[in-house]
Structure 1
Amino acid sequence: MSEEEYLWLAENGLERCARAGSILFRAGETADAMTILLQGEIQVHRDHNGPMAIFIGRAGQITGLLPFSRMKTYGGRGQATSDVWALQYPREMFDEMIRAVPSMVQRSVSVLVDRAREVTRLEQQAEKLAALGKLAANLAHELNNPASAAQRSAAGLLSELKVYGRHKFDLGSLCMDEGRLKALHGWQRAIVERAQVSKGEPSTVEEEELFNWLQARSIEDAWKICPDLCEARVTVADLEELDGLMGHTSLSIVLGQFASSRRTERMAQAMVDSTARIFDLIAAIKDYSYMDQAPIQDVDVPQSLETTLTMMQSRLGRTSIERNFQPALPRISAYGSELNQVWTAILENALDATHGEGCIRLNVKREGESVVVEIQDDGPGIAPEIQDRIFEPFFSTKAPGEGLGLGLDTVQRIVRRHRGFVTVTSEPGSTCFQVRLPIEPLQAY
């Protein structure tokens, strides 16, 4: 700038000073002046699950309302982090300032572009961190259940093995001949095989009959043995048969050993099931993130949706999922992890709309050289007057602090990167997001 321009700015600016720690403006207050910082530093924070710095102004920088800006209110809380000395220029002086300092046009536009770029970057980063936090919470919940079940089973198994060992020792003390051993093994095998094919749950009447039979014969720990026998679908007739084979004096030992073995097997099976669930979740994490794979893969779209649902299992609650996947769909060439971000964002919105209690329908089909994915929910719908705005960055219908308004903007950017497009149709009781992706993006031009 020329010396005359510097002189005009110095003579016409309104001098402002503030102590370190002072609040200069708050979010939502009217922005009505441009500020040139001569000394000190200002930080602007926006509250979203805690304060997030979106701008840091230092000596020599221009901030506040700028010429040609559509800014009406401050987007965050401005605070002086050190003693501030600045010059301010009210909105009413902008025309005069541009005539007196023509270079301010270029400077203002440059600052506006840099500001928009930086704020967008920070907001997108915050959106990613928020999505990561949700994903981590879902995973923690999903992993906690099988891990807790495995821990309980392991602890129970440790004590039960001691009981089982004692029962085996007692059983050995009976010194049964080969014929009685064979008969006992045959009885136990028949019970186990029948239990494997039995359906439904035993009734309380059946359990009461078993307990009365055991008590009438003074069977040791009848209250503890009875539930295990009932779960194995043992009947009074089975007990009568065993009583005839073994005799009354041996019955307590035999039944105690059998019930203990059933408990031990059940605990071991619970550990196997729980650890299998953990490994399934680990596999789902790898599939979701496409860990250890090239950036672009041949993606199975229905499987991609299933993997995303697995990762969001704890959020589904009582939501029912209806699937309609066209068979023999071709794989598409895509950034797999990014597509999973698309499904996650749309499903998150659907779950928010239905409050975890509605129905979500997933349709995947082929149309020409594209794969079409439709995610439909039965929530209240999107108001017609805002349907054209839902893909705008920072537009959100959620309460402050619950969303940045970048979820669907991210969806649109990712889909466009794949040479596809996303649309929405909505009415009360039905909202459907349709994502159309070319099978071969290079052929989509």
Structure 2
Amino acid sequence: MHLTPEMASPGAAARDATAADFLGRLPLFTALPRADLERLCSMVQDVRLAAGEVLMAEGDPGDAMYVIAEGEFEVVKESGDRQVVLARRVPGDFIGEMSLLEQAPRTATVRALADSRVFRIGQDSFRQLLTASPGAAGAILRTVGQRLRSTEAVLVQREKMAALGTLAAGLAHELNNPAAAVRRGAGQLRALLEAWQQAVVAFDALGLDGERAALARRLQGESVERMAAPSALAPLIYSEREDELLAWLEELGVAGAWELAPVLVSAGWQAGSLRQALAGFEAAHLPAVVHWLAVTTAVHDLLGDIDRGSARISELVGAVKRYSYLDQAPIQRVDVHAGLEDTLLILRHRLKQGVEVVRDYAPDLPRIEVRASELNQVWTNLVDNALDAMGGRGKLVLRTYARPGQAVVEVIDDGPGILPEIQHRIFEPFFTTKPVGTGIGLGLHIVYNIVVLEHRGQLQFESRPGRTCFRVALPIDMPPTAAAP
């Protein structure tokens, strides 16, 4: 980037005349008297950039605004590992005015798309412009308002899509484990079916009388029940029991004893207890009975794995449908606790890192009338912020209670808290304490809009080191003005 110095130079007069002619044609400067315009042009800097150069970077001090004379620029904002294009600016547009007005860091990056030229208006010159031309001040404020609305709309949609992507990634992670368990169980079951059929044929060929056949069925039922709720054994004890049982099975001449011993130990059998349970069978029948017992237990165990895995998948899919209120009316009465639980289920991948969730739910909390899917976005944003504040480890408290005409939800974390000097800004759009690229500062702003503006509720917070509480109070019946589209 090349700056033409502001101090007098041989070409300064010609430059000022060019700048005055150009700026004088723009609506922003038309109401400015010629003498004031020329004085302003004597104070601006002529800046030239090559294609690809950055005029201003997100986070830089907001110390000037720029008027584009030649070329084209794009305005982008970091969002995670991607850049969101907010706008393109062409000759006659001005940029950088928002940060200059607020005396705040730049909220976006501006990059030249082609070889470009701009006029830089510094802070002192900007103040003089606003003082000398109320029309210019009005034009700048109108432009700022339009750009804020446009930028917010783009980034709110981007924030929603990013949140959806995060939820989808977490859901995929959660679905992967039960899906893998189902597939693994189905594959093992397919491989075991032939052995199971052979064991059943051999068992039936024994021609057991009714009493012994009933005993075998009872032992099978006990094995399946124990397998479904196994007792936790220390590895050393498990290994000792497996070795003892393997030795006894080999002594009986049971085929594949080394594969069957672990199954029987997992079902709670020891060599002594199994020998005692099978005492009513003839010695010649024991190999076939034990083989049948172990294989059928293994089959039932695999079926249990498949059932649990598919149930978990069904639970997750159901949570997503409830969370999004798919195919349901936008406004309805909902169970706040169910919404909180669905949110926790969808964010479960983040809770596994070391977060203790404490639920302090009021049993008599009434159902409330809300825009259901938007309310779940409130819980998601608040819980997600709490997890970020705790660094993924700590205690998360969800508390609910009723007040006259209201249902109240508190989301409490034991993170470091919010600094007192920034607490008054946390609901502002684009305000964030996170590093550039890791947050665009709309999460709490969206929460505020949904709770306060759309539902006519209340949103409060208290924060100190070790405890931050966000309190959402929502009317039990949605006010007519809130329900209107």
Give the TM-score, by structure 2 length.
Answer: 0.82
Q: Aligned partners of 2:387 and 2:98: how far apart in 1?
A: 40
| 1:231 pairs with one of 261, 266, 280 | 266
Match of 2:384 in 1: 348
Deviation at 1:343, TM superposition (A): 0.9
Q: How many residue pairs were aligned?
A: 441
Residue type at the aligned position of 1:21? G
Query: Aligned runs of 1:289-304 on 2, under 5 Å?
Result: 289-304=324-339
Partner deviation per Cα, 1:253-275 (whole Å, 9 max, x = no partner): 33222211111111111111111
Task: Decide whether the 8 Å contact of 2:99 with 2:107 is kept in 1.
Answer: no
SS at match of 1:293: coil
CA contact (8 A) 1:32 1:65 kept: no
- Structure 1 residue identity aligned to 2:443: G
Q: Check if 1:313 corresponds to 2:348.
A: yes
Alignment partner for residue 231 of structure 2, among 200, 214, 231? 200
**Equivalent in the alignment of 2:451:** 415
| TM-aligned CA distance change 1:411 to 1:230, over 3 Å | same
1:190 to 219, 228, 249: 219
Partner of 1:429 in structure 2?
Answer: 466
Of 162, 174, 177, the residue aligned with 2:207 is 177
* Alignment partners' CA distance in 2, 1:193 and 1:300: 40
Alpha-carbon distance in 1 for matches of 2:411, 2:63: 44
Structure 1 residues 418 and 101, CA gap change in structure 2 (3 angstroms): closer
Distance 2:316 2:30 in 1: 67
Say if 1:170 and 1:253, in contact at 8 Å, map to a contact too: yes
Counterpart CA distance in 2 for 1:359 and 1:439 is 29
Work out the CA distance in 2 between the residues paired with 1:349 and 1:3: 47
- Are 2:192 and 1:160 equivalent residues in the alignment? yes
Q: Aligned to 1:124, which of 156, 179, 194?
A: 156
Give % identity: 34
Report how far residue 361 of structure 1 moved. 1.8
**Pick aligned residue for 1:39 from 65, 70, 75:** 70
Moved more, 360-369 or 160-169: 160-169
Aligned CA RMSD, in angstroms, stands at 3.0
Name the counterpart of 1:363: 399
Deviation at 1:68, TM superposition (A): 7.9
How far the C-alpha of 1:30 sits from its partner, in A, is 4.4
Deviation for aligned residue 1:241: 5.1
Distance in 1 (alpha carbons) for counterparts of 2:169 and 2:223: 42
Q: Secondary structure at the match of 1:399?
A: coil
1:182 positional shift: 4.9
The 1:258/1:386 distance shift into structure 2, 3 A limit, reads: same
Contact 2:224–2:301 (CA under 8 A) maintained in structure 1:
no
Conserved? CA contact 2:100–2:123, under 8 Å: no
Q: Distance in 1 between matches of 2:193 and 2:95?
A: 73
Query: Aligned to 1:267, which of 288, 296, 302?
Result: 302
CA distance in 2, matches of 1:168, 1:277: 31
Q: What is the CA–CA distance in structure 2 between the aligned matches of 1:346 and 1:125, rounded to whole Å?
A: 18
Question: Could you tell me the TM-score, scaled by structure 1's length?
Answer: 0.88
Verify: 1:258 aligned to 2:293, yes or no.
yes
Q: Which residue in 2 is equivalent to 1:336?
A: 372
Distance 1:240 1:98 in 2: 98
For the structure 1 residues 409 and 31, does the alpha-carbon distance in structure 2 shift closer, same or farther, using more than 3 Å as the test? Answer: closer
* Whole-angstrom distance in 1 between the partners of 2:330 and 2:384: 24
Give the residue type in structure 1 aligned to 2:306.
M
Q: Partner residue of 2:137?
A: 105
Which residues of structure 2 form unaligned runs of 5+?
1-26
What do residues 339-373 of structure 1 show as CA deviations (whole Å, max 9, x unaligned)? 11111111112222333332222221111111111
- Letter of the 1:20 counterpart: A
The match for 2:322 among 280, 287, 310 is 287
Q: Is 1:442 aligned to residue 479 of structure 2? A: yes
1:220 aligns with 2:255: yes
| SS class of match (1:45) | strand
CA distance in structure 2 between the partners assigned to 1:66 and 1:301 by the alignment = 40
In the alignment, the residues of structure 1 paired with residue 416 and residue 206 of structure 2 have an alpha-carbon distance, to the nearest angstrom, of 72
